[in-house]
Amino acid sequence: MDCECLAGCPFFHDRMSRMPSMSDLWKQNYCQGDSLHCARHIVFASLGTESVPPDLYPNEVDRARSIVSGGR
C-alpha cells in the first residue's frame, strides 16, 4: 500500500523530478509498503503537512524525530 502522502509529496514531485530512476528507488524504500521509516511521514503523522520542511529527505529520521520533539 502506498503512503497517503505520495500523490502530493513535494519531495518527489519537485526535488526528485529530474532524477526519475533515483526517485523510483526511494519510493520503493520509503513510500510503497511501510512508510513508517520515512522521515517526512514521521513529521507529517505527528505535526501535520505544514510542519514538514521542504528540504527534509526521507532518510533523515533523526532530524524528523528532533522536529517532532520540538527541536529544529
**What is the pLDDT at residue 6?**
84
**What is the pLDDT at residue 27?**
85
Is the CB of residue 71 less than 8 Å from the CB of residue 46?
Answer: no
The pTM of this model reads: 0.84
Question: Which residues, given as ranges, of the chain have pLDDT below 70?
Answer: 72
Is the CB of residue 65 less than 8 Å from the CB of residue 40?
Answer: no
**What is the pLDDT at residue 11?**
82
Q: Minimal CA–CA distance to 30: which of 48, 44, 49, 47?
A: 44
HEC string of 9-43 equals: CHHHHHHCCCCHHHHHHHHHHHCECCHHHCHHHHH
**What is the pLDDT at residue 67?**
96
List of residues 6+ apart from 54 with CB closer than 8 A? 10, 11, 14, 15
